Amino acid sequence: MMADSRKNRTGIMGGTFDPIHYGHLYIAECSRYRFDLQRVYFLPSGRPVHKKRDDILDAVHRLQMTRLAVESNPFFGVSGVEVEREGPTYAVDTLEYFRENRGDREEYFFITGADAILEIMSWKDVSRLFELCEFIAVTRPGYCFDRLDRVFKRLKPEQRDRIHVHETGGILISSTEIREKAAKGEPIKYLVPEPVEEYIKIHNLYQPVYCNQQ
């Protein structure tokens, strides 16, 4: 009997995850199901290049909350490679790391929001990035595709074919909303998994006192 030569399909979902919430988890699960991914890795960023906030929570906390959030799903995993890397966080470096450490056994699918794809031509070594992975561009119902179409027209046909637009149902949760609620002492239950909620309470995260100490 011939061995199955089909590669494993692996999702890579980067983000600040400050904090991770049910919206992130739902997008990852929908993408896993839709694209037949055997595994989805969450990668909290170290020093995200495109984030303008200068008050991002310490990476140790964001990494631990991500681990707590995914532990109940056997198809999810967490990698700290972007947190451990010195310097700014670039997607191409992360994909190179996965390729070098896992060989050619995997097909990689980079899960990101459709708005991030609008800036893809400014990403580091974008031509190499298209060689390393395909993209899952997540949208919500009612998303306006006009700007996305303009980006697609600037891409080579083989690059355009490696971007898959994926519309998910709307779980309208934002990390900003959660941080603001936590800072005011308002409930965040049902916005984040219970272990994450407890972690935020135990470590007094997003409280003004904590922020002033950073």
Q: Which tens digit of pLDDT belongs to each residue from 29-77?
A: 999 999 999 999 999 998 766 555 668 899 999 999 999 999 999 999 9
**CATH, range 8-172:** 3.40.50.620
Confidence grade of residue 211 (pLDDT, cut at 50, 70, 90): very low
H or E stretch covering 116: helix 114-117
Query: Which two tokens mark 165?
Result: 């637009």
State percent of the chain over pLDDT 70: 91
200 contact partners, CB below 8 Å, separation of at least 6? 19, 65, 182, 188, 192, 206
pTM: 0.89
pLDDT at 77: 98
pLDDT at 213: 43
Computed from CA positions of residues 78, 84, 89, 91, in that sequence, does the dihedral angle turn out positive or negative?
negative
What is the residue-averaged pLDDT of the chain? 90
Amino acid making up residue 52 = K
Pairing of strands 8-15, 39-44: parallel
pLDDT at 131: 96
Span of 37-46, 98-107, 174-183 with lowest mean pLDDT? 98-107
Query: Does residue 84 register a pLDDT over 50?
Result: yes
pLDDT at 177: 96
Alpha carbons 18 and 59: distance in angstroms, whole number: 9
Of 53 and 79, the structure prediction assigns the larger pLDDT to: 79
Pairing of strands 8-15, 134-139: unpaired
